[in-house]
Chain A
């Protein structure tokens, strides 16, 4: 399957507080990101997720693990609207 034009990664967290904490830390660390509704086919969560450029994965991982905010799961965004589970 073809990848999105700019490869992106979706990070899913345990709860809303953890998503917003991660957002705060990533913004502080200068990682470009967007808060998005959790895509339905990823989990049954009714909350939020974070989308970052795939190229930012290492920086994001470093920032989030320093803040003890590891995501529950990470997903690669595919061009056709699908997602691949990926290690973070």
Chain B
């Protein structure tokens, strides 16, 4: 991936802006990444995958590009701020927002979500898996009910894209956002928004697309409608290579590995007195990020000790989801979060557990 980014930045070339060899090469990088995204998520038409700088930009585009004053929207209490902040902004402009609380394990009940639908509900927004508790949410059931009632479903797949198999058509999802740099293993500064054909959406950014240059009106066809200005083609060249790797490896196989590692992690944490993890105890009901607290110790102190003592880097504190933390009862102190990925080994999980025992002054 890094080599592909390096090669692309050395080669240069602005996609779709010219007919010369470097421009074509760059356009091909975007095209191949788009085609691979479509394959990964079970879609035929890759033009519906729009590149963004990250998942936040994609979520902003979806929320602000679809909702209008008077619309009602339903979301869970475990949404990331990349959903909550745009929703709160829209609320100021006349969009009505209902937040459905999740249970103590961080999972929202699909029946509660559906019960919140009412006349004027335009969209339901759901994080596929919480970035705090790791809990997988019942997106399929909610999206199917929403589709039956003509309500759009926006899914924040930041924690699941590339880690959990997702077949967009069978999920009845209308919009789906994800970053390139997490489970999709691409570089930072990449992300995408999937928009189902027929979903009315207004671009947040308009400008040069390299197409319809004779017109001062934004094109309405995809992906150009939502992609203006020079894209991060260098980053997307890297993402394309990562996507090829994931397609070869298979998301199912990545998922199996991560579930096994999370299982060892949860078993290990459960055996350490004074350490508590959050979210579902069943590894198959959750994704990789595991939040935990060490009794009587500030999460940032735990993070610091893991780094200094064992060279293990974790995120500590509030994970950009205040409501998610309130749901788990970890607001405002937060948690420590550790996330095994496709390249993590069992040995590394064991080393982490040893370091954690040491922090608790227990024999390793």
Contact = CB atoms under 8 A, between A and B. Distances in A.
Interface string A17-39: 11011001000000000011110
Contacts of A14: 211-212, 219, 221, 224
Interface in B196-254: 209-214, 219, 221-224
A20 B219 contact: no
B221 A15 contact: yes
Contact of A20 (B18, B19, B28, B209): B28
B27 A16 contact: yes
Interface string B9-45: 0000001111110001001101100110000000000
Interface of B: 15-20, 24, 27-28, 30-31, 34-35, 46-47, 209-214, 219, 221-224
17 contacts: A14-B212, A14-B221, A15-B209, A15-B219, A15-B223, A16-B16, A17-B30, A17-B223, A20-B28, A21-B31, A21-B46, A43-B214, A46-B17, A46-B19, A47-B16, A47-B17, A48-B24
Given A37-B18, A37-B19, A44 B221 contact: no
A49 to B, nearest CB: 8
Nearest to B27: A16
Contacts of B213: 44-46
Interface in A36-70: 36-38, 43-48
A44 B219 contact: no
B24 A15 contact: no
B224 to A, nearest CB: 5
Contact of B211 (A16, A21, A24, A37): A16
Contact of A37 (B20, B34, B47): B20
A49 B24 CA distance: 11
B47 A21 contact: yes
Interface residues of A, number: 18
Closest 4 CB pairs of A and B: A37-B19, A16-B16, A15-B211, A44-B214
A24 B213 CA distance: 24
B211 A45 contact: yes
B19 A15 contact: no
Contacts of B221: 14-15, 18
Contacts of B46: 17, 21
Nearest to A19: B27
B34 A17 contact: yes
B97 to A, nearest CB: 34
Nearest to B49: A17
A22 to B, nearest CB: 11
B47 A20 contact: no
A74 to B, nearest CB: 18
Nearest to B15: A16
A36 B214 contact: no
Nearest to B214: A44
A48 B19 contact: yes
A35 B221 CA distance: 21
A47 B20 CA distance: 9
Given A21-B31, A45-B211, 4 more contacts: A24-B35, A45-B210, A45-B213, A47-B19
A35 B24 CA distance: 9
Given A36-B19, A48-B27, A15 B210 contact: yes
A9 B209 CA distance: 25
Contacts of B27: 16, 20, 48
